[in-house]
Amino acid sequence: MLLFTPGPTPVPEVVRQAMATQTLHHRTPEFEAIFKSARERLIKLFGMEECVMLASTGTGAMQACVLNLCETKALTINSGKFGERFGKIVQSTDKDLVELVYEWDTPATIDDIKLALESNLDIDAVFIQICESAGGLRHPVEEIAAYVKSVNPNIMVVADGITAVGVEPIDVTHIDALVTGSQKALMLPPGLAMIGLSKAALKKINKGKDYYFNLAIEIKKQRENTTAWTAATTLVAGLNAIFDEIEKEGGFDALFAKTAKRAEATQAALGAIGLTIYPKTPALSMSTVIDDDAEAIRKLLKTKYGVNMAGGQDHLKGKIFRINQMGLIPIHESAWVVNSVELALGEMKRRTFDGTANRVFNEVYFK
């Protein structure tokens, strides 16, 4: 079965091998060398001042940012499940919340953020997804971050890049914290969260009070190539292995270019067989189709064509399907996915199968 869900993504064989070695004790020079290498490569990938690795899923890193970077009031952008999650995390603390709610296909606007900031002068942190994975939507995060900083440079801008880091280059000029997780574009098993941090974020973090997610303590330890609590040793070793593998394939620039082309080719192929892309501003990490037959198409792909893609949640349950674009995906697999969607439409008598999806995919990808 081809795993084509936008996280978890398949783990390459060499990475699985690298994680199959004997467990190292985390307080040893051997592991510290592995940690140091992973840390340096992460800082380079984020393009930021500092980074921390946490033994948690991505949500843990989102929570760590709320706990360490917001003191008074948070502004969260809810265009789907993950934006909603930032709001729920804030509500689980003593901090106040202002939430901008949008339909799941709609990106946040600077006008709305302007209004929210003007009527809530005590907002000290803004939380937003780069890609809201619930609908595959790309928010204009860079523009929003620049605007927020122009209003007040002390407001922290926290970007959830869990389905953006490793997908596309991100301009972090106005971003204070950039969050990612292991099981999406970095192609590792779940359980390692990573946060890139700006100079301004480092200053604010000194006041952190939380116990497990105490970024002040973590940063101090991680600068010494160790961790406050037991490190996720296997996943950190896997992180070095995936960096090696991405380098072997031409580095991150090559991966970004291939991901963008795959996303473009997939979208063109789906459009050519009469399907509708759901978000108004689609992200590159996944291709999302809205269709009354979404569930039937997804089921046929799973049972007949060996493709596992994701559906929708909440009010989009049964209404959308999402095809992953993250990671080192063999191009023939992506071509097969759009081809099987066309086969499914043929079977459902929606159109006569003539290989259009595969042809358009290849024309666009190799043009």
Ligand X SMILES: *Cc1c(COP(=O)(O)O)cnc(C)c1O
Position among 128, 156, 162, 300 found at the interface with ligand X (CB under 6 A): 162
Q: Which is nearer to ligand X, 163 or 234 (CB)?
A: 163
Checking phi first, is residue 7 left (phi over 0); if not, alpha (psi -120 to 50) or beta?
left
Position among 78, 133, 259, 287 found at the interface with ligand X (CB under 6 A): 133
Q: Which is nearer to ligand X, 54 or 294 (CB)?
A: 54
Binding segment toward ligand X, per CB under 6 A, in 13-21, 53-61, 194-202, 204-212: 53-61
Smallest gap from residue 329 Cβ to ligand X (A): 17
Q: Which residues contact 35 (CB under 8 A, 6 or more apart)?
A: 53, 222, 225, 226, 227, 231, 236
Q: Which is nearer to ligand X, 59 or 227 (CB)?
A: 59
Smallest gap from residue 5 Cβ to ligand X (A): 10
Distances, alpha carbon 277 to alpha carbons 22, 42, 260, in Å: 46, 33, 16
Smallest gap from residue 80 Cβ to ligand X (A): 8
Binding segment toward ligand X, per CB under 6 A, in 160-168, 203-211, 305-313, 317-325: 160-168
Binding segment toward ligand X, per CB under 6 A, in 90-98, 107-115, 156-164, 359-367: 156-164
- Site track for ligand X across 72-101, x = CB under 6 A: ----------x-------------------
CA–CA separation, 25 and 212 (whole Å): 20
Position among 136, 181, 238, 327 found at the interface with ligand X (CB under 6 A): 181
Joined together, the tokens standing for residue 288 give: 């999302």
Q: Which is nearer to ligand X, 4 or 365 (CB)?
A: 4
Query: What number of chain residues touch ligand X (CB under 6 A)?
Result: 12
Smallest gap from residue 103 Cβ to ligand X (A): 17
Smallest gap from residue 138 Cβ to ligand X (A): 11
H-only helix segments in the chain: 13-18, 29-46, 58-69, 81-91, 110-119, 141-151, 199-205, 215-222, 233-248, 251-272, 294-303, 331-347, 356-365
- Are 74 and 265 in contact, with CB atoms under 8 Å apart? no
Exposure b/e, 77-93, CB count within 10 A at least 16 = b:
bbbbbbbbbbbbbbeee
Q: Which is nearer to ligand X, 72 or 308 (CB)?
A: 308
Q: How many CA atoms lie within 13 A of 113 on its CB side?
A: 28
Q: Which residues contact 126 (CB under 8 A, 6 or more apart)?
A: 74, 75, 76, 77, 113, 144, 145, 148, 155, 156, 157, 158
Joined together, the tokens standing for residue 356 give: 């259009």
Q: Between residue 201 and residue 230, which ones bind ligand X under the rule CB under 6 A?
A: none
By CB under 6 A, residue 136 contacts ligand X: no
Smallest gap from residue 36 Cβ to ligand X (A): 25
Smallest gap from residue 179 Cβ to ligand X (A): 8
Binding segment toward ligand X, per CB under 6 A, in 15-23, 157-165, 255-263, 356-364: 157-165
By CB under 6 A, residue 288 contacts ligand X: no
Smallest gap from residue 190 Cβ to ligand X (A): 6
Q: Between residue 111 and residue 130, which ones bind ligand X under the rule CB under 6 A?
A: 129
CA–CA separation, 259 and 276 (whole Å): 20
By CB under 6 A, residue 59 contacts ligand X: yes
Angle between helices 294-303 and 331-347 (to 10 degrees): 120
- Are 74 and 86 in contact, with CB atoms under 8 Å apart? yes
Task: Look at residue 274 and give its three-state secondary structure.
Answer: coil
- Are 309 and 292 in contact, with CB atoms under 8 Å apart? no
CA–CA separation, 213 and 221 (whole Å): 13
Read off φ and ψ for residue 33, nearest 5 degrees.
-65, -40
Smallest gap from residue 236 Cβ to ligand X (A): 17
The site for ligand X (CB under 6 A) is made up of 7, 57-59, 82, 129, 133, 160, 162-163, 181, 190
